[in-house]
Amino acid sequence: MAKKSKASAEIRQAAILLKDMGVTKVTVVYSGSGDEGCAEDPVAFNASGAEIKIPDHLSVKIKDELYEMLPSGWELNSGSSGTYTMDLVKNTAKLEHSEIVEETVDSEEYFNL
């Protein structure tokens, strides 16, 4: 799946509605591994940093947008985690993604018998 460089029309419309509610920032935390993963409900904040409850239909749109932006296989094997942040003042969104990688270190030793 190619990463998006521009938000969908639906999320841009959601951003307008959120701004009208006084929201300046939205964050969504996600994680997954072992073929399962999920995003938590979005958390919205106003300019003073107070949390604002957002309608369920907007939460769903934000999570749907996040799932479209995540790299393919984000929930597989050891998995990954991260945070999706919408800055409604700057009209930007940022995806901070960490992939968990298992590493195997091989070694050999020889002994005299």
The reported pLDDT for the residue numbered 79 is 85
What is the predicted pLDDT for the residue at 69?
A: 83
Residues in the chain with pLDDT values less than 70: 1-7
Average model confidence (pLDDT) across the chain:
88
Contacts for 91 with CB less than 8 Å, ≥ 6 apart: 15
pLDDT on residue 72:
84
Cβ distance 58 to 66 under 8 Å?
no
State the residue for tokens 């195997």. Answer: 104
